[in-house]
Amino acid sequence: MPENWTVRAITRATLPLLVVLSTVELGSGLVLGSVEEQLLASPSLLVLVPVTIGTAGNLGSVLAARLSTAVHLGTVSFEPDDDALVGNAVATFALAATVFPVVGLGAWTTAELAAGATRLSPLRVVLVATVAGAVLAVLAVAVTLAATYVAYRRGLDPDDVVIPVVTNTCDVLGVVVLVAVASVLAP
Amino acid sequence: MTMREVAASAYREALPALAASVVGGLFAGAVLGGMRAELSDVPGLLVLVPALLATRGNVYGSLGARLATGLHQGLLEPKFDLGNDRLRGAIAAALANGVLVSILAAVLTYVALTALGSSPASLHVLVLVAAIAGVLSGLALTVAVVSVVVVGFRRGLDPDTFVGPVVTTTGDFVGLAVLLLAVRLVTAALGGL
């Protein structure tokens, strides 16, 4: 982080990553665009989009922040039976299992209130959100472990790289998984 | 700590922030669900949404982290002084980068959709919408980030622990609402599209 806080110095430090990340996010935008008609016809699914992106990104960023701290403190070993590693992964699955059913019910209720007509039953929307959430938790753990491990092996500070990379990757995966699960469970 | 203790403490610490972001995300979803007419009128707008939302989080999350570090290192005084070169530089850089990346996302969206053979709204409409939304959400997020970081630091809190969720939640509440406003402004100014 530059101590010289000029527009030029800050831009030089952050703009390249911002451009890469927004190009990656464009990929998830194109996935959304490819099912635009289906989303416009089912407001519940449209409402699910931002909240799924946000929750998936947050699950990844919380895990990444905790693993980064564990790396700094030297309390993580990247072995399959490491308590810090397995414990944080288990917490991520438990958080997803708690939050995503609520996300589904909230999305259905919001769509009913904001858009009026909903095509899908509340149970169907809860099912889509819960299955998408379970798949996302597995992917978030895999992506975070891989990114933290690579940063750790290369001697990079995980705080600088891992959190933005993981958050944006989980954003994109959130859209892709939601669209895939919805096309199977709520065609 | 045993595996079970690690899992339990991680779960307890993360759940409140996650729950708050769900509320923000559902509000964003309500705005998105309520702007189906605009999404149909401006083809390509939905494709732009993830990039615009992510840019807010990335730019203003980074502003929050920078201000928090500056306060910790004593580079910055915990007060609202726009005469301070560092504070002004950090804010100006965030606004400039946020708007620049939003415009770039609009151009890339237009190019990608055209290359894929679909017909997006015209380039100047997408760019104008992205730029106006970038300026408006940038101003709102700057006010939110600078105030919570400065006020939190003055009260003896570590801004690093709450600036992330504050940016995410404010971004959810503001991001899509200003996008809707920007579409309406551009539509009104251009007299239909």
Give residue-wise pLDDT tens across range A10-48. 888 889 889 998 999 999 999 999 999 999 999 999 999
Record: contact B46-A95, CB cut-off 8 A: no
Q: Using only the alpha carbons of chain B, give its radius of gyration.
A: 19
User: In the structure encoding, which two tokens stand for residue B177, read together?
Assistant: 């609402």
pLDDT score recorded for residue A2 = 47
Out of B10, B46, B168, name the one closest to residue A33 (CB): B46
- Transcribe A36-67 into DSSP letters: HHHHHH-HHHHHHHHHHHHHHHHHHHHHHHHH
pLDDT score recorded for residue B31 = 93
Q: Give the Cα separation of A74 and B34 in Å (integer).
A: 48
Q: What is the pLDDT of residues B95-107, one digit of tens each?
A: 999 999 999 999 9
Record: contact A7-B3, CB cut-off 8 A: no
pLDDT, average across residues A53-77? 82
Chains A, B: CB pairs < 8 Å: 224
Pick the CATH number of B3-190 from 3.40.50.10470, 2.40.30.10, 1.10.357.20, 1.10.3720.10: 1.10.357.20
Task: Answer for the pair B171, B192: CB distance below 8 angstroms, yes or no.
Answer: no
Q: Give the Cα separation of A54 and B176 in Å (integer).
A: 13
* A19/B contact by beta carbon, under 8 A: yes
Record: contact A94-B21, CB cut-off 8 A: no
pLDDT, average across residues B33-38? 91
pLDDT bracket for residue A80 (50, 70, 90): confident
pLDDT score recorded for residue B192 = 58
Closest residue by Cα to residue B59 from A10, A58, A50, A140? A10
Closest residue by Cα to residue B137 from B91, B92, B176, B87? B176
User: In the structure encoding, which two tokens stand for residue A109, read together?
Assistant: 């209720």
The residue in chain A having the minimum alpha-carbon distance to the alpha carbon of residue B90 is A5
* A87/B contact by beta carbon, under 8 A: yes
Record: contact B44-A33, CB cut-off 8 A: yes
Per the model's pLDDT, the better-predicted residue between B52 and A119 turns out to be: B52
Record: contact B164-A61, CB cut-off 8 A: yes
Domain ranges of chain A: 16-185
Quick one: what percent of chain A has pLDDT higher than 90? 48
Read off the pTM. 0.86
HSE at residue A37, side-chain half, CA atoms within 13 A, is 2
HSE at residue B3, side-chain half, CA atoms within 13 A, is 10
Closest residue by Cα to residue A87 from B103, B182, B12? B12
Which residues, in sequence order, are CB contacts of A53 under 8 Å at separation 6+? A28, A171, A174, A175, B25, B50, B53
Mean pLDDT of chain A: 88
In three-state secondary structure terms, A117 is coil
pLDDT score recorded for residue A84 = 83
Residue A154, min C-alpha distance to chain B (Å): 23
Burial of B56 (0-12, 13-18, 19+ CB in 10 A): buried
pLDDT bracket for residue B193 (50, 70, 90): low
pLDDT score recorded for residue B3 = 86
CATH topology of domain A16-185: Tetracycline Repressor; domain 2 (1.10.357)
Task: Answer for the pair A111, A47: CB distance below 8 angstroms, yes or no.
Answer: yes
Q: Give the Cα separation of A65 and A54 in Å (integer).
A: 16
pLDDT score recorded for residue A33 = 94
Per the model's pLDDT, the better-predicted residue between B3 and B136 turns out to be: B136
The residue in chain B having the minimum alpha-carbon distance to the alpha carbon of residue A26 is B51
pLDDT bracket for residue A59 (50, 70, 90): confident
**Other C-beta atoms within 10 Å of B193: how many?**
12
Domain ranges of chain B: 3-190
* A83/B contact by beta carbon, under 8 A: yes
Quick one: what percent of chain A has pLDDT higher than 70? 96
